[in-house]
A and B are shown apart, each in its own frame.
Chain A
Amino acid sequence: MKRCLDIARKDLRSEFRTKQMLNSMLIFALLVIVIFSFAFGPYPENIDQLAPGILWVAFTFAGMLGLARSFASEKEQGCLDGLKLCPVDRSAIYMGKVMSNTVLMFIMEMITVPVFIVLFDYSISNPLELGCIIMLGTLGFVFVGTLLSALTVNVRAREILLPVILFPVIVPVIISAVLATGKILSGTNDIWAEIRILGAYGAIFFIVALLIFEYVIED
């Protein structure tokens, strides 16, 4: 666990110094929210049906920018080989990357959600439930995204390939998260079914990723 934290700390230290990924993710997410808010006008009739999808489009597409860079940055100067040469279990590399990607996603989401609430004129009566859904949805996205980011790291067109293989796999996460977010925004609190799906999806993919990561990053 300590080695995972060291890897995450190294990634975040490097990222906070350059802010390459964070700035891209943040600007992209805010642009999506702003563009959709202008496109649909101030008070569209079916905003309750559209808004959750808009929020998760912003999260997932912005997150994709970060995930694509997550392992690609390790390829520079052969750092991925340097990491693989360290006497730690390869799953520690996956865990460390999951931690740093999750922190970056949460920062992006914490700034995006208030802007979304203001622009779409929502008042959130149950912020804890919204936070819970965003957390579970983000973890499911990051667990799979980090694994597939490692899988595509040696591919020349990885920026194109990653979304193509990631989005079909995370359909259950996106559908459940959008449904649950829609219920929360409309004041309904019956989101247990979605929480169960998100929890099970995250747990299954996390375990699978830990088991197969060693083979995924082998040359």
Chain B
Amino acid sequence: MISINKLSKVFGDNIALRDVDLNIKKGEFITLLGPNGAGKTTLIKIMSTLMSATSGSVTIDGYDVKEEPIEVRKRIGVISHETYLYDDLTAYENLEFYGKMYEIGELDERISNVVSLAGLQHRLHDRVGTFSRGMKQRLSIARTLLHDPPILFLDEPYTGLDQHAAATFDEISSGFAEDKTTMMATHDISRGLEKCDRLLILSSGEIVFDAPKEKIRDEAHLRSIYVQHTSG
């Protein structure tokens, strides 16, 4: 489903990614852990066509992100700590705009479905600027799911959410992520372990740990692995 070959990204003198090789199978949920500056966001930005790589290649569902970015964008959805929502527009207007950009047929029905999933029917015609951070993140989920992408990239989705909002996000995401190929970059070791099928640790632009969830005994074990691979 996703194939990354010898991917590198250099910003001036700083090497953000160094010869990253990775294959992700259809339906896998990958948790990507790593300290700040490890290259998690850079990797997701390159995979989602927002940034070009210095060298190497990424293929998503058979399409090269550099050669056929529009085909790649049709197949991915990105949820970030930024919501990509316009505060001055209503929830409906935001979803309508993105729906048109993705050329979704029967848009009203689709909007109704994703808004129900996010539990925001009662605020559909309110301006997004009046929403709480948690509600915006739920609407961001609805925005991402509008075109029903088979691949999801979640980049620090819990940033700025309180415990209740994070739990609500978990509840919603557990419903939609089941049949999708997902990569989630996070600092939340507990949530990352709970959700994933496979764990990666990225440090200084390199994948230093890659193992299926079964190899991790518990959260304490993962924490010790994390410290071992990222310290120094």
Within 8 A of B (CB), among A66-81: 76-79, 81
Chain B interface size range: 20 to 34
Query: Are B52 and A79 in contact (CB-based, < 8 A)?
Result: no
Query: Are B49 and A85 in contact (CB-based, < 8 A)?
Result: yes
Stretch at the interface among B80-88, B179-187, B224-232: B80-88
Query: Are A6 and B101 in contact (CB-based, < 8 A)?
Result: yes
Across the interface, B70 reaches (CB within 8 A) one of A14, A77, A88, namely: A88
Within 8 A of A (CB), among B84-105: 84-89, 93, 97-98, 100-102
> Interface residue count for A (Cβ, 8 Å)?
24
List the A side residues contacting B97 at CB < 8 Å: 6, 10
List the A side residues contacting B76 at CB < 8 Å: 85
Query: Are B51 and A219 in contact (CB-based, < 8 A)?
Result: yes
A82 to B88, CA, bound (A): 15
List the B side residues contacting A219 at CB < 8 Å: 45, 50-51
List the B side residues contacting A85 at CB < 8 Å: 48-50, 73, 76, 78, 84
List the A side residues contacting B100 at CB < 8 Å: 2-3, 6
Interface of A is mostly: helix
Taking A82-B98, A85-B73 as contacts, is the C-beta distance between A17 and B88 under 8 angstroms? yes
Query: Are A79 and B84 in contact (CB-based, < 8 A)?
Result: yes
List the B side residues contacting A6 at CB < 8 Å: 97, 100-101
A86, closest chain B residue (CB): B101
Across the interface, A10 reaches (CB within 8 A) one of B80, B89, B102, namely: B89
B128, closest chain A residue (CB): A77
* B74 contacts chain A at the CB level, 8 A cutoff: yes
A74, closest chain B residue (CB): B86
Query: Are B51 and A218 in contact (CB-based, < 8 A)?
Result: yes
Query: Are B87 and A86 in contact (CB-based, < 8 A)?
Result: no
Query: Are B70 and A87 in contact (CB-based, < 8 A)?
Result: yes
A57 to B70, CA, bound (A): 41
Query: Are A14 and B88 in contact (CB-based, < 8 A)?
Result: yes
A219 to B101, CA, bound (A): 21
A76 to B93, CA, bound (A): 17
List the B side residues contacting A18 at CB < 8 Å: 88
Across the interface, A87 reaches (CB within 8 A) one of B45, B78, B93, B102, namely: B102
- In the complex, what's the smallest C-beta–C-beta distance from A21 to chain B, in angstroms? 11
A82 to B98, CA, bound (A): 9
Across the interface, B83 reaches (CB within 8 A) one of A2, A77, A86, namely: A77
- In the complex, what's the smallest C-beta–C-beta distance from B143 to chain A, in angstroms? 8
Query: Are B74 and A87 in contact (CB-based, < 8 A)?
Result: yes
B99, closest chain A residue (CB): A6
Query: Are B50 and A78 in contact (CB-based, < 8 A)?
Result: no
Beyond A76-B87, A85-B76, 6 additional contacts (C-beta under 8 Å) are A10-B93, A78-B83, A82-B98, A86-B73, A87-B73, A88-B70
Please, could you name 5 A-B residue pairs with CB atoms under 8 Å apart, sorted by A?
A13-B89, A85-B76, A85-B78, A87-B73, A89-B70
